[in-house]
Amino acid sequence: MSVPVPHIASAPYTVRGMRVTDHRFTVPLDHAVPEGESITVFAREYSDAEMPQTEAGQLPWLLYLQGGPGGKGSRLLQFGGWTKAAAKHFRILMLDQRGTGLSTPADRRTLPLRGDAAAQADYLARFRADSIVADAELIRGALGSGPWTTYGQSYGGFCTLTYLSFAPHGLRESLITGGLAPLTGPADRVYRATFRRVAARNAEYFAKYPQDRALTTRIARHLSDTAEFLPSGERLSVQRFQMIGSFLGGNTRMDGLHYLLQEAFVPAPGGERLSDTFLEAVHGLVGRAANPLYAVMHESIYGQGAATNWAAARVLEEFPEFKPDAAEPLYTGEMVYPWYFDEDPALVPLKETAELLAAREDWPALYDSGQLARNSVPVAAAVYTDDIYVDRGLSLETAAAVRGLRVWESADFHHDGIADDGEGIFNRLLGMVRDAPQP
């Protein structure tokens, strides 16, 4: 049974057919020292405003575990997609994972309050999935919920596997989309697999838009020769331009890359320059001011008993086609490199902290393979065949290691599948766990 924690809830208010309540919980910074320093974790509750409040209050809870790391809970303006489907069965709780959103923040402004880089790194070491799950269990107790349903997208699926490992008693059932993490092994194997998938996705993109191959190289050469600056004031490098490959992780978003590139150049005195429209859009894609923990904590999500030591940068040496000076450089995926902390103003002050986290060796285990092999919680996971962020092969390896986990594999969606058909995917997975025989 979870120990109750201090909890403040707002009065309910309505937003476009949703009944909304804001919750703030006081939780230990270090769950191993519950009487020590505390932080605030924020979560927002959504239910159907057309349903009588007494009836809605009897619905079971669904905890949504956001992608990331460093992603805050979705800010709903109305029900749609998977939330439209979920609101028929649940009260939805959107969690701002520790350090994000309205939870106690962790960024270039606040982290210096902890002290030097070593103190900041020690602080952030308590911001991984194990702490997020421990927060969730305290929150579940504070809300008076029995075992609840979780829905984990991307990194939220990683958190779900940690939940299944260390607090399965808190779970009624779990749904996962694009988020089956490898349970063992160094981060290198993750990036080795995803570099290959990103290369294949580049080939698919340039086959669809062959004119963009020369245009991409032209932009890269222009950036090597001409100083172009993002709206935040820093020079746009070739390697940072390559980050707009984040578009390739989605179905329709891939076409958005084509539209963006079409607006790249405009005529100017002295020759062509990159347009303000293009630079503004690129800034929105490559800047980490809104989610710095994504970069700072990214490789730590794979750390278990060993340092990650900038795994993506090391594996990059095996894939020279992704280097900025390649003859025809490719777009990259969600890999994080040390140079991020030289070029992004939101990350520059955190460079030494990030270096210390990359070198950290004492990461505790995030998963319990024995418990997962004995799992009795119904779990269903969507695995996307061509996902460039969470590799299919590694996902299926993990699925086979979790007793009773049911997989739905689809080649119709990419990593952002729930943005394309969230309602259909949610209903399918919920049906799978509800129809599943108990393992």
Give first-to-last CA distance, the chain, whole Å.
24
**Active-site position among 23, 298, 414, 415:** 415
User: Rounded CA gap, 67 and 69, in Å?
Assistant: 6
Q: 47 is written with which tokens?
A: 């239910």
**Running DSSP on this structure, what letter comes out for residue 407?**
E
**Running DSSP on this structure, what letter comes out for residue 383?**
E
For 122, what's the count of Cα atoms within 13 Å in the CB-facing half-sphere?
7
Pairing relationship of beta strands 18-28 and 13-15 according to DSSP bridges: antiparallel
Q: 106 is written with which tokens?
A: 């962790």
Residue 74: active-site member: no
- In contact, 36 and 65? CB cutoff 8 Å: no
Residue 224: active-site member: no
Q: 387 is written with which tokens?
A: 């996902």
**How many CB atoms neighbour CB 292 within 10 A?**
26
Closest CA to 129 of 151, 162, 104: 162
Contacts of 2 (CB under 8 A, 6+ apart): 137, 138, 140, 141, 142, 170
**Residue 37 φ/ψ, nearest 5 degrees:** -60, 145
**Active-site position among 2, 103, 145, 154:** 154
Q: 153 is written with which tokens?
A: 């997208």
Q: Which amino acid is at 392?
A: R
Residue 154: active-site member: yes
Closest CA to 130 of 3, 32, 5: 32
Contacts of 234 (CB under 8 A, 6+ apart): 343, 344, 345
Helix or strand or coil: residue 99?
A: strand
- In contact, 179 and 154? CB cutoff 8 Å: yes
Q: Based on C-alpha coordinates, what's the Rg of the chain?
A: 22
User: Rounded CA gap, 5 and 135, in Å?
Assistant: 10
Say if residue 130 is exposed, middle or buried (CB neighbours under 10 Å; 0-12, 13-18, 19+): buried
Write out the catalytic residue numbers: 154, 362, 415
